[in-house]
Amino acid sequence: MDQLFSNAIYLVTRGLEVAGIVVIIIGIVFAAGRLLTRFNNPDAYHELRSTIGRAILLGLEILIAADIVNTVAIEPDLHNLAVLAGIVLIRTFLSFSLEVEIEGRWPWQRHPAKAADTRTDRH
């Protein structure tokens, strides 16, 4: 029974890893296709970077989930938890960096339009 559980968790983990990679690849292909159809658009490059960045963000989130499942369910010892913490820290830093690159602001900052709406509602 224990071996069956380990094999199932292993397959789930590998499936999540593959899903994360596939999301990134599909996002890049989709962004390239959009670039080709909107090549004359002056914002095409910005849209390309934004679409690829969002695909990478989603893929990173799925890969983090795979690492958590793998570490917690299969090998929950102190060394593997420390490795997981390092991986999550690096991927979280990458996620924040991509978010700043895409949006031009920190994730916890309000969108400029929303902040302006909030200020006008008070008066």
* String of DSSP letters for 84-106: HHHHHHHHHHHHHHHHHHHHSS-
Instruction: Give CA–CA dist 38/48, Å, rounded.
Output: 10
Indicate if the pLDDT at residue 87 is higher than 80: yes
- CB-based contact 16:66 (threshold 8 Å): yes
Instruction: Please tell me the predicted confidence (pLDDT) of residue 16.
Output: 94
Indicate if the pLDDT at residue 34 is higher than 80: yes
For 19-29, the pLDDT digits (tens) are 999 999 999 99
Instruction: Please tell me the predicted confidence (pLDDT) of residue 1.
Output: 56
Task: Record the pTM.
Answer: 0.72
Mean pLDDT of 49-71: 88
For 100-122, the pLDDT digits (tens) are 877 777 767 776 665 555 555 55
Mean pLDDT of 20-43: 89
State the pLDDT confidence band at 72, using cuts at 50, 70 and 90.
confident
Sign of the CA dihedral running 81, 87, 91, 96: positive
